[in-house]
Amino acid sequence: MSSLFSKTISLGKELKITDQEFIGLRDFIYAQCGIYIADNRKYLLENRLGNRLKKLNLKNFDEYYNFLRFDVGKANELKKLFEVITTNETSFYRNPPQLQVFQEKVLSEVLKERRANGKSLRIWSAGCSTGEEPYTISMIIHELLKGEVGSWDIRITANDLSERVLESARKGVYNDYTLRTTPEDIAKRYFDMNGGTNKIKPEVKKLVSFGQINLKDRMQLKRVERSQIIFCRNVIIYFDDEMKRQVINAFYDNLLPGGYLFIGHSESLHNITRAFKPIHFPGAIIYRKEA
C-alpha cells in the first residue's frame, strides 16, 4: 500500500462526481480502511472509481455509494474498492540506507540477543504490497545467518489491505524492474532468473507468511503475533493524524520491549507520539520502544 493515486485513468466526460457524492464516498472509505482523501483529490477519486461504475452498470457515484452500503454483493465490491484506491509501487531493497541500518545495526543486535534467548525472531511487514519488502527482509536474514537459518524459529508476518497484491506476493514472481535497486549478487543468490522472469527461491519464501489486514480494524491488529521489529513504510502518510495515532499505538502495543519500528523516509512520528525514541543514522531515522 505504498503510493496512493499515483496514476489516473481517462474515463470520458460522462462520469462526474458531485461534491456531495465525493464527501459521502470519501467518508465511507475513511470509515472502512482509514485512508483519507483530501478535497483537492476529488478528481482522482472520480477517475479511479469511474471504471467500477461502468462495470456495475451504475449511472452515478451516488448509486455506487448505495451499492457499497446496501447491496448483497458489497463485500466483494469492497475488495475491488480497496484495490482501486491503492496503488502498489515498490521494489526489492528499496531505500538502501535504511536497509543498511536494519542489517548492520538493528537486525545484528536483535539476532545476538535472540541467540541467547531461544533463537526465535518475529518481524511484521504491515502494508507489504506485492511482497518485495518482506522478501527483502528474508534475504537480509539469510545474509546474516547463512546456514544457521534452519536452526531458528523465524516468521515474517506480511499484511496488506488488498487481496490482489497478496495473491501476487504469494506467487513470488517478479520482472527485472522490481530488482532495479537489488545488488546483483543478491539477485543471483535468491532468485531463479530466466529471461526477465525472476522467481523467489523457496528458502526465502519459507520465512514469510502473507495475510489480509485492515489497519483500521483494531481486533485484527491485536491478533498479530508480537514482534521484535515492525516495518510500515510509505503507508501512514495517507492517514490523517487520528488514524496515524491509532495505527502507531497498535504498533507500540505489538512490539516487544526494546523493539524497533521502521517507517518511510518521508514519514515522521512528529506530533503523533512520543512513545518511541528516535534514533538517527546517516540517511535514516528509526524508532525504538524502550526496553
Tell me, what's the pLDDT at 7? Answer: 40
Q: What is the chain's pLDDT, residue by residue, as a tens digit (291 residues)?
A: 544 444 433 344 467 888 888 889 988 888 887 787 878 778 778 888 888 888 888 888 888 888 888 876 677 888 788 877 776 668 899 989 999 999 999 999 999 999 998 899 999 999 999 999 999 999 999 999 999 999 999 999 999 988 889 999 999 999 999 999 999 999 999 999 998 899 999 999 999 999 999 999 999 999 999 999 999 998 888 888 899 999 999 999 999 999 999 998 888 898 899 999 999 998 899 999 998
Tell me, what's the pLDDT at 155? Answer: 98
119: nearest Cα among 157, 153, 155, 156: 153
Examine the domain organization and report whether 221 and 78 are in the same domain: no
Report if residue 44 sits inside a domain: yes
Examine the domain organization and report whether 280 and 145 are in the same domain: yes
Tell me, what's the pLDDT at 45? Answer: 81
Tell me, what's the pLDDT at 87? Answer: 63
Q: How far apart are CA 111 and CA 116, in angstroms?
A: 9
Report if residue 8 sits inside a domain: no
CA torsion angle for 265, 269, 270, 274 (degrees, to 10)?
-140
Examine the domain organization and report whether 109 and 221 are in the same domain: yes
Examine the domain organization and report whether 69 and 172 are in the same domain: no
- Give the chain's domain count: 2
Of 64, 85, 106, which residue sits at a domain end?
85
Examine the domain organization and report whether 79 and 189 are in the same domain: no
Of 85, 106, 133, which residue sits at a domain end?
85
Full residue range of the structural domain in which residue 33 is found: 19-85
Report if residue 233 sits inside a domain: yes
Tell me, what's the pLDDT at 3? Answer: 46
Report if residue 90 sits inside a domain: no
Tell me, what's the pLDDT at 4? Answer: 46
Report if residue 11 sits inside a domain: no
Examine the domain organization and report whether 119 and 36 are in the same domain: no
Examine the domain organization and report whether 104 and 74 are in the same domain: no
Examine the domain organization and report whether 65 and 185 are in the same domain: no
Report if residue 13 sits inside a domain: no
Of 39, 54, 85, which residue sits at a domain end?
85
Examine the domain organization and report whether 223 and 142 are in the same domain: yes
Examine the domain organization and report whether 132 and 153 are in the same domain: yes
Report if residue 91 sits inside a domain: no
Report if residue 1 sits inside a domain: no
pTM of the complete model: 0.83
Examine the domain organization and report whether 63 and 172 are in the same domain: no
Q: What is the CATH number for 25?
A: 1.10.155.10
Q: What is the CATH number for 268?
A: 3.40.50.150
Examine the domain organization and report whether 151 and 244 are in the same domain: yes
